[in-house]
């Protein structure tokens, strides 16, 4: 799941996934750019559920990237 926003030549999107790494991979796939070309800010880390199960709270990242010139 992700949300988007734009400002000038830069664009910003938020991604949520089970882990931070999954969120970054999701961003790479959705945006079609490598993580080296993104500015990634971790909004919140994932939190494990009862007995260490995944998914109690999703990881959330914010990605800032330069929009392509058209």
Q: Where are the domains of the chain?
A: 2-66
Q: List beta partners, residue 6.
A: 11
* Chain segment 2-56, per-residue pLDDT in tens: 445 555 567 899 999 989 999 999 999 999 999 899 999 999 999 877 776 665 7
Q: What is the pLDDT, as a whole number, of residue 41?
A: 96
User: Residue 2 — φ and ψ, nearest 5°?
Assistant: -150, 160
pLDDT band of residue 62 (cuts 50, 70, 90) is: very high
Q: How far apart are CA 37 and CA 44, in angstroms?
A: 21
| 66 or 8: which leads in pLDDT | 66
């Amino acid at each position: 799941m992700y949300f988007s926003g734009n400002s000038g030549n830069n664009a910003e999107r938020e991604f949520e996934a089970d882990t931070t790494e999954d969120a970054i991979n999701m961003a790479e796939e959705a945006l079609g750019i490598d993580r080296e070309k993104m500015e990634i800010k971790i909004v919140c880390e994932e939190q494990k559920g009862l007995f260490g199960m995944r998914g109690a709270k999703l990881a959330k990242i914010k990605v800032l990237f330069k929009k392509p010139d058209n």
